[in-house]
Amino acid sequence: MNSNLYYNPSLRRNISDKVLTLLSGLFSLIAILPLILVIAYVIVNGASQINLSVLTQLPEPPGDDISAGGIGNAIIGTLIVTGIAALISIPIGVGGGIYLAEYSKPGVFTKFIRFGTNVLSGVPSIISGVCVYGVIVSTKIILGSNFSALAGGLALSILMLPTIIKTTDEGLKLVSNDLRKAALGLGASKYITITRVTLPSAITPIATGVVLAIARAAGETAPLIFTALFSFYWAQGTQALLEPIATLSVLIYNFALEPYKTQNELACAASFILVIVVLMMNLLTKLIGYYTNSNKS
C-alpha cells in the first residue's frame, strides 16, 4: 500500500474531481450565456433604434413602409395596465399577507391558504388570461366593453397576487416578536401595533416583493393578448380604460411575427425599453436588500 500522504494529482479520484469542477464551471458559463447574448442582442438591435420620434409616435399598421412609427402609446399603455394591476393587487396582496402573518390562527384554513398561494403562483399565466376572457371579455360585464385595459389589468393582478402575499407574509414573520409585545404592552391595540410597528419594520421585504411583482407584470404578454388586445391609437378620454389598449409586450409579440423588417425593428426597440426597465427594477430590489442587510450588521 502506498503510504505517501502528499497530495497526488494523478490519482483517479483527484483527476475526476478536477474534471467535475471544470464541468460545473462550464455549466455555469452555459447558464449565464443566454443572458449575455439576449442583452447584447437587445442593446445592439434596440438601442440604435431609439430616438425621440420612436418614443413619442404611434405605431403604423403593418405594411411595407419606410418607418413603422413609434411605441409611444405602448409605453403609456404598459404604464396604465400595470398601474391598474398594481392598484388591484397591492391592497389585496398586502392585506392577505397581513392576515396570514398577524391574524390567522394556525390551522387547516391557514395552511390551505398558504398552500393555495404557492399553487396559484404556479398557474400558467395564460390561464389567467383565459379566465378573465371568460368572465369579463366574453360576457361584456363591465359597461358593455369587451377587450379593455381594465380586463388586462385584472388578468395581470391575478399573477401579481401570490408574489405579494408571499413576500408580505414572510416579511412580517421575520419581524421579531419582542417588538409586537412591546407595542401591545404600551397599550396599543392590535391595529395600531400592525400599522405603526410591524408594517414599518417589514417594509423592505414587502417593497421588494411589490417591485418584483410589478416588474414581472410589466413583461407579461400571455394574459394580455386576448384581454387588453392591442391598439394603434393613443389611450385618451374617459373611455380609455374600457377600450383595447397597446402594451409594449403585446407590441413586441405582434410586430415580431410580422413579415416586415421595419416592424421587427420596432419590436427590438420596444424590447430594449422593456428589458432595461425590468432589469433596472430587479437590480433596484437587489440594492435595497444589500443596503438594508449591511445597515443591520
Partner 1 sequence: MVAFVLIGIGLVVFTGSIESMGRYGIKFLFTSDWNPVTDQYGAFTAIYGTLVTSITSITIALPLGVGTALFITEKILPKLVRETIGIMVELLAAIPSVVLGLWAMFIMEPFIRPFLSGLNNNFGWIPFFSSRPGGPGIAPAILILVVMILPIITSIARDSLNQVPSRLREAAYGVGATRWNAIFNVILPAAISGITGGVLLALGRAMGETMAVTMIIGNSNNFNFSLLSPGNTISSMLASQFGEADGSQVSSLMYAAFILMIITLIVNIIAQWMVLKLKLKY
Residues 78-117 that bind partner 1 (CB under 8 A): 92, 96, 112-113, 115-117
| CB-nearer residue toward partner 1: 98 or 197 | 98
Closest C-alpha to 268, from 68, 77, 81, 125: 68
Decide if 192 contacts 123 (C-beta within 8 A).
Answer: no
Which region among 13-21, 49-57, 58-66, 197-205 touches partner 1 (by CB under 8 A)? 13-21
Residue 8 sits in the site that holds partner 1 (CB under 8 A): no
| CB-nearer residue toward partner 1: 72 or 114 | 114
Pick out residues in 178-217 that bind partner 1 (CB under 8 A).
215-216
| CB-nearer residue toward partner 1: 13 or 105 | 13
CA–CA distance from 152 to each of 42, 84, 156, 214, 236 (Å)?
Answer: 26, 9, 6, 14, 17
Gap between the Cα atoms of 24 and 6, Å rounded = 26
Closest C-alpha to 90, from 173, 172, 235, 212: 212
Gap between the Cα atoms of 274 and 219, Å rounded = 7
Place of cell 502506498: 2
Decide if 160 contacts 89 (C-beta within 8 A).
Answer: yes
Give the contact letters, 20-59, x = binds to partner 1 (CB under 8 A), - = no. xx-xxxxxx-xxx-xxxxxx-xx-----------------
Residue 253 sits in the site that holds partner 1 (CB under 8 A): yes
Pick out residues in 117-146 that bind partner 1 (CB under 8 A).
117-120, 122-131, 133-135, 138
| CB-nearer residue toward partner 1: 166 or 180 | 166
Decide if 179 contacts 201 (C-beta within 8 A).
Answer: yes
Which region among 50-58, 79-87, 189-197, 275-283 touches partner 1 (by CB under 8 A)? 275-283
